[in-house]
Structure 1
Amino acid sequence: MEPDDPRIRALVTDVAGALRAELAAVAADIERVIVDAMPILEGDDAHALRAGIGDNVDAALHLLVEGSPSTAPTSAIADAQRFAQRGVPVAVLIRAYRVGQARFLDLCIDQLLRQSEGDHAEVQATRAMVAIASEYIDRVVEEVVTAYEESHDDWVRDRSAVLAMRIRAVLRGDAVDVAATERTLGYRFDRDHQALVLWVEDHEADAHVRIRQVVGAVTETLAGDRSALIVPQDESTMWAWLPLASSVTAGGELSVAVKSEPSVVVAAGEPLAGVDGFRRSHRQATSARAVALAAGPERAPITPFADVAAIAMLCADVESARAWVHETLGDLAVDSTRNEGLRETALVFLQTGGSYTATAEQLFLHRNTAQYRVRKAEEARSRPLREGRLDVELALLACRWLKGGVLQPAP
């Protein structure tokens, strides 16, 4: 009889209907068999499988009844992603599916036997063949996948080493074959590049995943089908270069991406063209990162080099910078909420050419309030803000970006 024979369809539908009526029990049975067969899956890993197993069983039973193909359930995809982030080998995931499939078929055959008459010789023979084939495939797939993973890991390590070597040669300014390097990296130099240094501080296993999500979100918006170049540096830090159209900066898009993944901290260079721009933008990004690290936990989520270029030079000697800031600003450099507001007003006042009106407009203050704050800032400094104006502005910028790195503790 063919699979579309009405009698076969009726039997299959009846079996699926009976199992669906006991879906929770069926899923629990399959989960137990999987965990018993695979001691490596215990605790959180076993618990994480539960939703995926139930949804997979439901999808399979629906397929038996409707006959229409189905996509993987969302929970099953989430399980796979979670296992990958926890470092569970893919062979374990595949074997879990093989064991689950064998148990599912066994339960289907049990139900079929309950609903049909006769000695069931054909059905029992089918059960035996399914069991033997499943055991064989289970064993062979595990060996084959393990061999694949070992070979793939070796290849990835070798390729990562080659990529890192080529990139460092470019960054050092070595004479390189540009065309050959582009082919190796899969990235072209004849465009504008904005370099990023991205990192997280929690050192969780999925750090690189979160960083790639941020880079991917920005690249998708700005670069279309052009891929960013991403290079891991350690378990929690990555370098990236965004391929940009001329005169485009990834400022707003980067802010949106980081807000969606707030654990990722970013230092950004300026968009610059060609091989030299590739190098210079990266140097800028690493300088901006030095500012972010010097700022400590209070740093901004994104540190653009354009905003901290002068401050970056101070990071070479933060202790000396702290002393200089104190000498320049006096008590205005003391770390307090009140002083923070005074410093911000003073900085805007200097940046707007000493205009109280422009300062008030930019900070959304009344003009008299802006004038009052400037006077209080000068009292804290014990000198007019315009005295040594360039030094004062640089010191105020250092306070804004380096925060506790250069501020004096409150008494």
Structure 2
Amino acid sequence: MVQLYARELPHLVNDDESVVSLLSASLFQNIDTALRIFQHGIDPTRVEAPAAAMQYARRLAQRGTPVVDLIRAYYLAQTAILNYALTEAAKQIRDPDMLGGMMSKALTGTFAFIDRVTQQVVSAYQEERDRWLLNRNALRAARVRELLEGDGLEIDTIESALGYRLRGTHLAMIVWHAVEPAQGNALGSLQVVTTALGEGLPTTGQPLLVPADERCAWVWFPLEKAVLPEDEEVGRILATAEPTVRLVLGDPADGIDGFRRSHRQAGRVHALSTAAGDQCERALTFRDVGAIALMTSDLPATRSWVSDILGALATDDEQHERLRETLLVFLATGGSYTAAAAKLTMHKNSVQYRVRKAEETLGRAVTDNRLDVELALKVCQRLGPAVLIAR
């Protein structure tokens, strides 16, 4: 098996002696367990992965070895053992029925055993990866918090501790799981999203990722120029990520002050996204929702203000939601019934009717206090029930 891995997965055997020794122990214990399953008729779906196999999985997680290599190692070994066993069986067993029964039992039992063990070792790998990342980043997280909160810090010392250059343009992101992910690999999936997003940006180095807790990470991208990722690219990345993942972005900014400012902006948008709950979009930027994000620091006051501006139009039901949506588009298109109708894909007369009903609900023309009305409508669109009047 070790010789097989030397050909197919050479980095697993061309490694530290203690790790290779653990690999050998894992192989021996797995093969021993598999043979005992056949010898004693043990149900393979009820066996526990050997201790050495679990420890080897944890060691690979600590070293950053991709989990796919761990899985591939199991299936390479399974294929090799089955090939050997079936070749020997064909030599030794002359009865076709007995040979067929033996092959069926070997295939079924081996696949059940490998499936059972790989589930356990992958779970151990993911748990250890999360724990290791948290521990490894503990010092960096402390230095980042010092940097965000304090002044007069030695730049060279901080850069060395973080492994990240502070002299340049930074784009801050907060990425998190809205609920506990089903796969249990919270930080790992956040890293995947961060890496994918960074590949589409004009970066000057690796992003700085610091876990804020077990389900949330603070990220900074070092940029060549001040840009934001394209909406389509962000959507594509999130479409392949865990459905629980959300992200928010600040504006790009320069130097240490920019490092802090971009993160503060991302933090405000994060608060908005959290307040909005499930109905909120999975990705938001400070550039798009900054004014609304600033209002989430005092949600009760925001709710009261929305009620003062919109009155009954802020009622939380489908009828008033349609009126709010139409009125917001009408205002956003410069008060043009024709443009609003085109954007909403509805008849111009329908837009006129809804705008008139919205004005009746407001008790005044929308041209009165227009800026406040439009902002209040945007707040309702983003925060929904958090600021609406319960029916």
Q: Does 1:295 align with 2:276?
A: yes
CA offset at residue 231 of structure 1?
Answer: 0.5
CA offset at residue 265 of structure 1?
Answer: 1.4
Q: Is the CA contact 1:191–1:246 (under 8 Å) kept in the aligned structure 2?
A: no
The corresponding residue for 2:237 is 257
CA offset at residue 28 of structure 1?
Answer: 5.2
Alignment partner of 2:209 out of 230, 235, 239: 230
The alpha-carbon distance between structure 1 residues 181 and 40, as it changes in their structure 2 partners (threshold 3 A), is: closer
CA offset at residue 379 of structure 1?
Answer: 1.8
Tell me which moved more, 399-408 or 356-365: 356-365
The corresponding residue for 1:243 is 222
Counterpart CA distance in 2 for 1:156 and 1:376 is 54
CA offset at residue 314 of structure 1?
Answer: 2.0
1:153-168 equivalences in 2 (<5 Å)? 157=135, 159-168=136-145
Counterpart CA distance in 1 for 2:355 and 2:73 is 62
Alignment partner of 2:289 out of 285, 299, 308: 308
Q: Is the CA contact 2:204–2:222 (under 8 Å) kept in the aligned structure 1?
A: no
1:10-409 equivalences in 2 (<5 Å)? 29=38, 35=47, 38=50, 56-59=77-80, 80-87=121-128, 157=135, 159-204=136-181, 205-223=184-202, 226-252=205-231, 253-261=233-241, 262-409=243-390
Tell me which moved more, 26-35 or 269-278: 26-35
Q: Deviations over 1:23-57 (max 9, x none)?
A: xx969549969947848999xx9xxx999856522
The corresponding residue for 1:103 is none
CA offset at residue 342 of structure 1?
Answer: 1.8
Q: Deviations over 1:348-367 (max 9, x none)?
A: 22222212222223333332
Counterpart CA distance in 2 for 1:188 and 1:211 is 22
Q: Deviations over 1:364-399 (max 9, x none)?
A: 333223222211221222221111111111111110
Root-mean-square deviation (Å) = 3.8
SS of residue matched to 1:222:
coil
Instruction: List 4+ stretches of structure 1 deviating above 3 A.
Output: 25-42, 49-55, 59-65, 74-82, 86-89
CA offset at residue 225 of structure 1?
Answer: 7.3
Q: Taking every aligned residue pair, what percent have the same amino acid on both sides?
A: 37
TM-score (norm 1): 0.66
Tell me which moved more, 276-285 or 262-271: 262-271
The alpha-carbon distance between structure 1 residues 173 and 51, as it changes in their structure 2 partners (threshold 3 A), is: closer
Counterpart CA distance in 2 for 1:88 and 1:279 is 28
Q: Is the CA contact 1:356–1:370 (under 8 Å) kept in the aligned structure 2?
A: yes
Counterpart CA distance in 2 for 1:345 and 1:27 is 70
Counterpart CA distance in 1 for 2:77 and 2:359 is 69
Q: Deviations over 1:289-312 (max 9, x none)?
A: 111111122222122212222212
The alpha-carbon distance between structure 1 residues 243 and 311, as it changes in their structure 2 partners (threshold 3 A), is: same
Counterpart CA distance in 1 for 2:274 and 2:268 is 10
Counterpart CA distance in 1 for 2:315 and 2:85 is 72
Structure 2: which 5+ residue stretches go unaligned? Answer: 1-33, 58-69, 87-113
SS of residue matched to 1:377:
helix
